[in-house]
Amino acid sequence: MLSALLGSHPPRLSARHLVRIGALFGIAEGTVRVALSRMVAAGDLIQSTGRYTLSQRLIERQARQDESRDPHTRPWDGTWEVAIVTAERRAPADRAAFRHTMATLRLAELREGTWMRPANLVRDWPELVSGQCTLIDGRPHGDPTPLLWDLAGWAAEARRLEGALDRADGLAEGFLVSAAVLRHLLADPLLPAALLPADWPGGELRARYDDFDRAYREVLMKHLRD
Protein backbone atom coordinates (compact mmCIF):
# COMPACT_ATOMS: atom_id res chain seq x y z
CA MET A 1 0.00 0.00 0.00
CA LEU A 2 2.81 2.38 0.88
CA SER A 3 4.63 1.59 -2.36
CA ALA A 4 1.48 2.44 -4.32
CA LEU A 5 1.15 5.78 -2.56
CA LEU A 6 4.86 6.57 -2.86
CA GLY A 7 4.51 6.13 -6.61
CA SER A 8 1.40 8.35 -6.90
CA HIS A 9 1.43 12.10 -7.52
CA PRO A 10 -0.18 13.47 -5.46
CA PRO A 11 0.32 10.64 -2.92
CA ARG A 12 -3.40 10.11 -2.33
CA LEU A 13 -5.55 7.10 -3.22
CA SER A 14 -9.04 5.99 -2.30
CA ALA A 15 -9.65 2.92 -0.18
CA ARG A 16 -11.31 1.29 -3.21
CA HIS A 17 -8.20 1.76 -5.33
CA LEU A 18 -5.92 0.43 -2.61
CA VAL A 19 -8.16 -2.61 -2.22
CA ARG A 20 -7.88 -3.27 -5.96
CA ILE A 21 -4.10 -2.99 -5.77
CA GLY A 22 -4.08 -5.48 -2.92
CA ALA A 23 -6.19 -7.83 -5.02
CA LEU A 24 -3.39 -7.97 -7.60
CA PHE A 25 -1.41 -9.94 -5.01
CA GLY A 26 -4.30 -12.03 -3.74
CA ILE A 27 -4.76 -9.92 -0.59
CA ALA A 28 -8.34 -9.93 0.68
CA GLU A 29 -10.23 -6.65 1.04
CA GLY A 30 -10.60 -7.08 4.78
CA THR A 31 -6.86 -7.59 5.18
CA VAL A 32 -6.11 -4.45 3.18
CA ARG A 33 -8.52 -2.37 5.25
CA VAL A 34 -7.06 -3.66 8.53
CA ALA A 35 -3.55 -2.83 7.27
CA LEU A 36 -4.65 0.67 6.29
CA SER A 37 -6.15 1.24 9.74
CA ARG A 38 -2.94 0.12 11.38
CA MET A 39 -0.84 2.40 9.19
CA VAL A 40 -3.08 5.34 10.12
CA ALA A 41 -2.68 4.47 13.81
CA ALA A 42 1.11 4.22 13.36
CA GLY A 43 1.26 7.66 11.74
CA ASP A 44 2.31 6.44 8.30
CA LEU A 45 -0.95 7.43 6.61
CA ILE A 46 -3.57 10.15 7.01
CA GLN A 47 -7.18 9.20 6.29
CA SER A 48 -9.84 11.69 5.22
CA THR A 49 -13.17 11.19 3.42
CA GLY A 50 -12.28 7.70 2.26
CA ARG A 51 -8.88 8.64 0.88
CA TYR A 52 -5.44 7.86 2.24
CA THR A 53 -2.45 10.21 2.05
CA LEU A 54 1.17 9.74 3.06
CA SER A 55 2.34 11.28 6.33
CA GLN A 56 4.92 14.06 6.21
CA ARG A 57 7.76 11.62 6.92
CA LEU A 58 6.81 9.50 3.93
CA ILE A 59 6.20 12.53 1.73
CA GLU A 60 9.85 13.38 2.40
CA ARG A 61 10.78 9.85 1.33
CA GLN A 62 8.77 10.32 -1.85
CA ALA A 63 10.70 13.53 -2.53
CA ARG A 64 13.98 11.61 -2.16
CA GLN A 65 12.61 8.92 -4.46
CA ASP A 66 11.70 11.52 -7.08
CA GLU A 67 15.13 13.11 -6.70
CA SER A 68 16.78 9.75 -7.33
CA ARG A 69 14.95 9.55 -10.68
CA ASP A 70 15.96 13.06 -11.74
CA PRO A 71 18.93 14.07 -9.55
CA HIS A 72 19.94 17.70 -9.10
CA THR A 73 23.66 17.81 -9.72
CA ARG A 74 26.19 20.50 -10.54
CA PRO A 75 29.50 20.49 -12.41
CA TRP A 76 32.22 18.90 -10.30
CA ASP A 77 35.53 20.69 -9.78
CA GLY A 78 37.24 17.88 -7.87
CA THR A 79 36.16 19.06 -4.40
CA TRP A 80 34.90 16.57 -1.82
CA GLU A 81 32.57 17.22 1.09
CA VAL A 82 33.87 15.85 4.39
CA ALA A 83 31.75 15.68 7.54
CA ILE A 84 33.61 14.79 10.76
CA VAL A 85 31.47 13.98 13.78
CA THR A 86 32.50 16.16 16.72
CA ALA A 87 29.42 15.82 18.95
CA GLU A 88 29.83 13.77 22.10
CA ARG A 89 27.53 11.53 24.15
CA ARG A 90 24.91 10.90 21.49
CA ALA A 91 22.04 8.60 22.40
CA PRO A 92 21.63 5.42 20.28
CA ALA A 93 18.44 6.82 18.71
CA ASP A 94 20.29 10.02 17.78
CA ARG A 95 23.13 8.01 16.24
CA ALA A 96 20.65 5.97 14.19
CA ALA A 97 18.87 9.11 12.97
CA PHE A 98 22.20 10.65 12.05
CA ARG A 99 23.33 7.61 10.04
CA HIS A 100 19.99 7.52 8.22
CA THR A 101 20.33 11.20 7.33
CA MET A 102 23.88 10.74 6.04
CA ALA A 103 22.70 7.88 3.84
CA THR A 104 19.88 10.01 2.40
CA LEU A 105 22.47 12.71 1.66
CA ARG A 106 24.45 10.00 -0.18
CA LEU A 107 27.56 10.34 1.94
CA ALA A 108 29.61 7.24 2.75
CA GLU A 109 31.60 6.53 5.89
CA LEU A 110 35.35 6.28 5.33
CA ARG A 111 35.93 5.39 8.98
CA GLU A 112 33.99 5.79 12.21
CA GLY A 113 32.74 9.38 12.35
CA THR A 114 34.20 10.49 9.01
CA TRP A 115 31.79 10.79 6.10
CA MET A 116 32.49 12.09 2.61
CA ARG A 117 31.41 12.35 -1.02
CA PRO A 118 32.17 14.46 -4.11
CA ALA A 119 30.66 17.95 -3.91
CA ASN A 120 28.45 17.60 -7.00
CA LEU A 121 24.96 17.58 -5.46
CA VAL A 122 22.70 20.62 -5.13
CA ARG A 123 21.41 20.57 -1.53
CA ASP A 124 21.80 22.15 1.90
CA TRP A 125 23.15 20.59 5.07
CA PRO A 126 20.35 19.83 7.54
CA GLU A 127 20.72 20.97 11.14
CA LEU A 128 20.98 17.36 12.27
CA VAL A 129 24.32 17.16 10.41
CA SER A 130 25.72 20.67 10.80
CA GLY A 131 24.95 20.58 14.53
CA GLN A 132 26.98 17.41 15.07
CA CYS A 133 29.82 17.72 12.56
CA THR A 134 32.67 19.85 11.42
CA LEU A 135 32.14 20.31 7.67
CA ILE A 136 35.15 20.58 5.38
CA ASP A 137 35.62 20.96 1.63
CA GLY A 138 38.84 19.41 0.39
CA ARG A 139 40.65 17.32 -2.20
CA PRO A 140 41.91 13.90 -1.09
CA HIS A 141 45.24 12.55 -2.34
CA GLY A 142 44.13 9.74 -4.58
CA ASP A 143 40.59 8.54 -5.27
CA PRO A 144 38.77 7.15 -2.20
CA THR A 145 35.76 6.03 -4.28
CA PRO A 146 36.58 2.27 -4.15
CA LEU A 147 36.74 2.44 -0.35
CA LEU A 148 33.34 4.12 -0.07
CA TRP A 149 31.02 2.47 -2.61
CA ASP A 150 30.58 -0.93 -4.23
CA LEU A 151 30.12 0.43 -7.74
CA ALA A 152 30.45 -2.97 -9.41
CA GLY A 153 27.70 -4.39 -7.19
CA TRP A 154 25.37 -1.46 -7.86
CA ALA A 155 25.98 -1.68 -11.61
CA ALA A 156 25.35 -5.43 -11.71
CA GLU A 157 22.02 -5.04 -9.94
CA ALA A 158 21.07 -2.13 -12.22
CA ARG A 159 21.65 -4.29 -15.29
CA ARG A 160 19.62 -7.11 -13.76
CA LEU A 161 16.75 -4.69 -13.14
CA GLU A 162 16.94 -3.40 -16.72
CA GLY A 163 16.32 -6.95 -17.88
CA ALA A 164 13.53 -7.38 -15.34
CA LEU A 165 11.79 -4.28 -16.71
CA ASP A 166 11.92 -5.74 -20.20
CA ARG A 167 10.50 -9.08 -19.01
CA ALA A 168 7.86 -7.80 -16.56
CA ASP A 169 4.54 -9.42 -17.40
CA GLY A 170 1.30 -8.31 -15.80
CA LEU A 171 0.36 -5.69 -13.26
CA ALA A 172 1.56 -7.55 -10.19
CA GLU A 173 5.01 -8.35 -11.57
CA GLY A 174 5.35 -4.85 -13.00
CA PHE A 175 4.49 -3.36 -9.61
CA LEU A 176 7.18 -5.40 -7.86
CA VAL A 177 9.85 -4.62 -10.45
CA SER A 178 8.96 -0.92 -10.35
CA ALA A 179 9.35 -0.82 -6.57
CA ALA A 180 12.68 -2.64 -6.81
CA VAL A 181 14.03 -0.14 -9.34
CA LEU A 182 13.03 2.82 -7.19
CA ARG A 183 14.73 1.29 -4.13
CA HIS A 184 17.87 0.71 -6.18
CA LEU A 185 17.95 4.26 -7.51
CA LEU A 186 17.80 5.52 -3.92
CA ALA A 187 21.07 3.66 -3.35
CA ASP A 188 22.83 5.27 -6.34
CA PRO A 189 25.68 7.41 -4.92
CA LEU A 190 25.18 9.90 -7.78
CA LEU A 191 28.88 10.34 -8.39
CA PRO A 192 30.31 12.66 -11.05
CA ALA A 193 31.13 11.01 -14.37
CA ALA A 194 34.87 11.36 -13.75
CA LEU A 195 34.62 8.87 -10.87
CA LEU A 196 32.38 6.33 -12.62
CA PRO A 197 33.24 3.44 -14.94
CA ALA A 198 32.75 4.23 -18.62
CA ASP A 199 29.83 1.78 -18.87
CA TRP A 200 28.00 3.01 -15.78
CA PRO A 201 24.31 2.00 -16.19
CA GLY A 202 22.68 4.66 -14.01
CA GLY A 203 21.44 6.85 -16.83
CA GLU A 204 20.23 3.90 -18.89
CA LEU A 205 18.30 2.45 -15.95
CA ARG A 206 16.59 5.80 -15.34
CA ALA A 207 15.65 6.19 -19.01
CA ARG A 208 14.27 2.65 -19.23
CA TYR A 209 12.37 3.06 -16.00
CA ASP A 210 10.79 6.35 -17.13
CA ASP A 211 9.51 4.65 -20.29
CA PHE A 212 8.29 1.64 -18.33
CA ASP A 213 6.60 3.77 -15.66
CA ARG A 214 4.63 5.84 -18.18
CA ALA A 215 3.24 2.75 -19.89
CA TYR A 216 2.65 0.86 -16.65
CA ARG A 217 0.74 3.69 -15.00
CA GLU A 218 -1.64 3.95 -17.93
CA VAL A 219 -2.50 0.26 -17.59
CA LEU A 220 -2.70 0.43 -13.78
CA MET A 221 -5.01 3.45 -13.74
CA LYS A 222 -7.27 1.77 -16.31
CA HIS A 223 -7.41 -1.28 -14.03
CA LEU A 224 -8.30 0.89 -11.01
CA ARG A 225 -11.05 2.71 -12.92
CA ASP A 226 -12.70 -0.40 -14.38
Tens digit of each residue's pLDDT (9 = 90 or more) over 3-33? 999 989 899 999 999 999 999 999 999 999 9
Q: 216 near 165, Cβ under 8 Å?
A: no
Q: 134 near 97, Cβ under 8 Å?
A: no
Task: Supply the pLDDT for residue 226.
Answer: 75
87, 73, 113: which is closest to 195 by C-alpha? 73
Task: Supply the pLDDT for residue 23.
Answer: 93
> DSSP of 134-175, one letter per residue?
EEEEE--SS--HHHH--HHHHHHHHHHHHHHHHH--SHHHHH
Identify the domain boundary among 148, 176, 199.
Answer: 148
Please give the span between the terminal C-alpha atoms of the chain, in angstroms, as a whole number. Answer: 19
Same domain, 142 and 157: no
In DSSP terms, which residues pair with 135 in a beta bridge?
83
Same domain, 220 and 154: yes
Residue range of the domain that includes 37: 2-65
Same domain, 140 and 107: yes
Query: Mean pLDDT over residues 206-217, rounded?
Result: 95
Q: How confident is residue 176, by pLDDT bands cut at 50, 70 and 90?
A: very high
Same domain, 163 and 209: yes
> Any idea what the CATH number is for the domain that residue 139 is in?
3.30.70.2650
Same domain, 136 and 158: no
Task: Supply the pLDDT for residue 17.
Answer: 94
> Any idea what the CATH number is for the domain that residue 177 is in?
1.20.58.1460
pLDDT for 42-93, tens place per residue? 999 999 988 999 999 999 999 999 999 999 999 999 999 999 999 888 889 9
